[in-house]
Amino acid sequence: MMLGVIQQVALIPVFLHYWSSDILAAWLVVYAIGNLVPIADCGLQFRAINRFLAFKSSVDCDGRTARLFAAMLRIYLGLAGVLVVLVLVGTRLLSPSVAGLYRARGLYGRAVNLQSIGMLVGQVVQLIAIIATGSLLAVIVAYVVTQMAVAVYFMADARRLFPFLRGVRVKLSMRWIIGQFQYAAPFAVAGAAELALLNIPVLLVSALVSDRVAVAQWGLTRVVAGLLRTLCIQTTLPLAAELGHDHAVGLRERLRSLYARGSVFVTLLASVVVSGLLPFWPDFFALWTHGAVPYDPVLAITLLIGTAAVAPSILALGYSNYSNRGDLLVRTKGLQLAVFLVLSVVLIQRIGPLGAAIAIIASDLLIQFGLLGIVILRQTLQRPFQHVAVLVMLMVTVTLCGWGLGTAIRALLPWTGLLRFVAECVLWLGIAGLVASPLASARLRGELIAKIPN
């Protein structure tokens, strides 16, 4: 998450030093397009993850895993080759379902570390490229090359880490290959819809709004909402893998308890972050952009509060992927994408970037939370609606208290510029930490957890 903040936040002032807001808007569009490339995965990763998890309770787990891995790897290599031929210059090579194997085997942290090292190296190379050349193309090349290097290293590291993958021979029939794509298709549609919902808004605003400054304003404001959503996704990924394991081996009570605690945790995390961002984001935005891009408070508040409101459904989405609920995913995410596209086309032309924000939040609340999230809660928990009530109460209380505290701090502190912003953040964190300090007691935490409806 820290490296993600560096990529999407800390590098922006450097880019603005060398580029105009027009070129920055172009980079944000290119970055969004690059994030759409994993759609070419065709859902194979989640298909592989569900099979890896299913093997955990079967005879010859390692042998079956190795054979599926070898077969899927050949499909991935063929798919990558076709994409290279079709596109000629791809923006990113897809790593095969290696990362899925790390998740299923309890080594999720190692995969994250490898990806983080790749991100850090990529960011250093991007800085060197922009300082040395000032070229948008040079920054893009630096970004792409490091992604390709990480993908190659993953393939080598997996064989070293899992010796049973070595020397496995498999014979693939065209019927079997087609079958994998068929089983993976629901996950492909759902994954494509999720990536599209994260990145297409930038492209739509760029296409439908003629004011380039407004496009840059939208792209930069969308960054903070995207980081909040990414924080929730990264938090739920290891939880979803554990939930998928419990689902696969039939540990129902453990599954129910973990889901209830995980849902409260991601809601609390999103609410705390938003309660701190709402009062101080205007000051940071002015420092961040050197005043070159105006701040839109309505746009920022809409995106932040809306993203926090759908945080619990992100856990439901992750768990659906890891529990082989392809049919539910394809129905809900496909419907959500359709709702978003209709609303965005209508609203962006009338009210500009704010229309895109409203379309995103409305589709999230109506479909991902109101449909997918509720279905998963009803299938998983014994008291789903009491659980939702607790989540709503927690979200409203934490957000309003943190926002009110930040507003009071801003009104009381003197100074201006960076000194004021740092003082605001330090004071807010200190008071918030003091208020939360009773949670350091294991006994109190246990009592609170016992009261969570599950």
Residues 95 and 236 in one domain: no
φ, ψ of residue 413 to 5 degrees: the values are: -80, 140
Residues 147 and 190 in one domain: no
Q: Which residues contact 171 (CB under 8 A, 6 or more apart)?
A: none
pTM confidence score: 0.70
What does the block give as tokens for 92? 């990113």
pLDDT at residue 95, rounded to an integer: 39
pLDDT at residue 34, rounded to an integer: 64
pLDDT at residue 90, rounded to an integer: 41
What does the block give as tokens for 276? 């701190």
Residue 2: inside a domain, yes or no?
no
Residues 137 and 243 in one domain: no
Residue 4 pLDDT class (50, 70, 90 cuts): confident
Residues 355 and 279 in one domain: yes
Residue with tokens 């032309």: 349
Residue 19: inside a domain, yes or no?
no
Choice among 133-147, 315-329, 434-448 with the minimum mean pLDDT: 133-147
Residue 220, number of CB atoms within 10 A of its CB: 24
C-alpha span between 320 and 244 (Å, rounded): 8
Domain limits for position 394: 186-450
The percentage of the chain sitting over the pLDDT mark of 90, rounded to a whole number, equals 30
Residues 333 and 195 in one domain: yes
DSSP code for 20: -
C-alpha span between 67 and 44 (Å, rounded): 15
C-alpha span between 299 and 357 (Å, rounded): 7
Residues 163 and 196 in one domain: no
CA dihedral 359, 322, 240, 31 (to 10 degrees): -50
- Model pLDDT for residues 194-220, shown as the tens digit of each residue: 877 877 887 788 778 877 778 878 888
Residues 164 and 287 in one domain: no
Instruction: Give yes or no for a contact between 113 and 161, defined as CB atoms under 8 angstroms apart.
Output: no
**pLDDT averaged over the chain?**
83
pLDDT at residue 172, rounded to an integer: 76
Q: Which SS3 state, helix, strand or coil, does residue 7 take?
A: helix
The more confidently predicted of residues 46 and 343 is 343
Residues 352 and 432 in one domain: yes
Instruction: Give yes or no for a contact between 452 and 261, defined as CB atoms under 8 angstroms apart.
Output: yes
Q: What's the mean pLDDT in 275-293?
A: 86
Crossing angle of helices 311-322 and 44-55, in 10° steps, is 70
Give just the sign of the alpha carbon dihedral 85, 41, 67, 106: positive
Domain boundary pick from 172, 202, 225: 172
Residue 187, number of CB atoms within 10 A of its CB: 27
Residue 15: inside a domain, yes or no?
no
pLDDT at residue 85, rounded to an integer: 59
The percentage of the chain sitting over the pLDDT mark of 70, rounded to a whole number, equals 90
Q: What's the mean pLDDT in 110-122?
A: 81
Is pLDDT of 97 > 50? Answer: no
Choice among 131-135, 155-159, 316-320, 321-325 with the minimum mean pLDDT: 155-159
Residue with tokens 């960054």: 223
Residue 228: inside a domain, yes or no?
yes
Residue 29 pLDDT class (50, 70, 90 cuts): low
Is pLDDT of 339 > 70? Answer: yes
For 4, 271, 435, the CA distances from 393, given in Å and listed in that order, are 30, 11, 18
Residue 125: inside a domain, yes or no?
yes
Residues 115 and 81 in one domain: yes
pLDDT at residue 361, rounded to an integer: 93
Residues 215 and 351 in one domain: yes
Q: How many domains does the chain have?
A: 2
The more confidently predicted of residues 25 and 284 is 284
Residues 149 and 229 in one domain: no
Of 228, 239, 302, 222, the closest CA to residue 31 belongs to 222
Residue 143: inside a domain, yes or no?
yes
Residue 93 pLDDT class (50, 70, 90 cuts): very low
Residue 250: inside a domain, yes or no?
yes
pLDDT at residue 263, rounded to an integer: 94
Is pLDDT of 418 > 80? Answer: yes
Residues 338 and 364 in one domain: yes
C-alpha span between 321 and 328 (Å, rounded): 10
pLDDT at residue 96, rounded to an integer: 39
Pairs from 135-138 (Cβ < 8 Å, separation ≥ 24): 136/19, 136/23, 136/26, 136/27, 136/30
Domain boundary pick from 172, 194, 214: 172
Domain boundary pick from 147, 172, 197: 172
Residue 179: inside a domain, yes or no?
no
C-alpha span between 267 and 252 (Å, rounded): 23
